[in-house]
Amino acid sequence: MGTLKDTLTTDMRTALKARDEVTTSTLRMALAAVGNAEVAGDTKRELSDEEVLAVLTKEAKKRREAAVAFADAGRADQAAKETAEGDVLARYLPKQLSDAELTDLVAGALAGGGFSGMGQMGPAMKAAQAAVAGRAEGGRVAAEVRRQLAG
């Protein structure tokens, strides 16, 4: 099938031919973000699928935050545009965990590492993030780790 970046490029071309403006512009933006990540640092390099996924996750989060900000400012048209872009990016992201699934995964990671108390928040977060593997936002994971360590 190729890499995730190849899939994004192919889908962008398909959307361009279909004159799907939202998908085309969103995928162009995503590919530009991937390109920027590739040239960041000392030397240009190809990103792995996991790294491309991290870039897409960050871009999707930006769209969600912008949609909320525009909605709060009474700019429904701009909020709808940001939401539509977020929906396009969501097609390429892994399915997000439910609250119950997140609770179970975090509990397993904390028990497996023997973490207890807020003093171990850093190592506990690292273990929890590894268990979650990008299927939940960092803020949600951190809140759940905090809740379980405090309890």
Render each residue's pLDDT in the chain as its tens digit; 151 residues: 468 899 999 999 999 999 999 999 999 999 999 999 999 888 899 888 888 988 998 999 999 999 999 999 999 999 999 999 999 999 998 888 888 998 999 888 888 888 888 888 888 889 888 888 878 888 888 999 899 888 7
Q: Can you give the pLDDT at residue 122?
A: 87
Question: In the numeric block, which tokens belong to residue 53?
Answer: 């996924």
Whether pTM > 0.85 for this model: the answer is no
What is d(CA 151, CA 117) in angstroms, rounded to the nearest whole number?
8
Instruction: Identify the pLDDT of residue 131.
Output: 86
Q: Taking Cα atoms as reference points, which of 42, 6, 151, 15 lies closest to residue 143?
A: 151
Distance CA 3, CA 6 (A): 5
Q: What is the pLDDT of residue 50?
A: 85
8 A C-beta contact, residue 52 and residue 94: no
> Are the C-beta atoms of residues 56 and 89 closer than 8 Å to each other?
yes
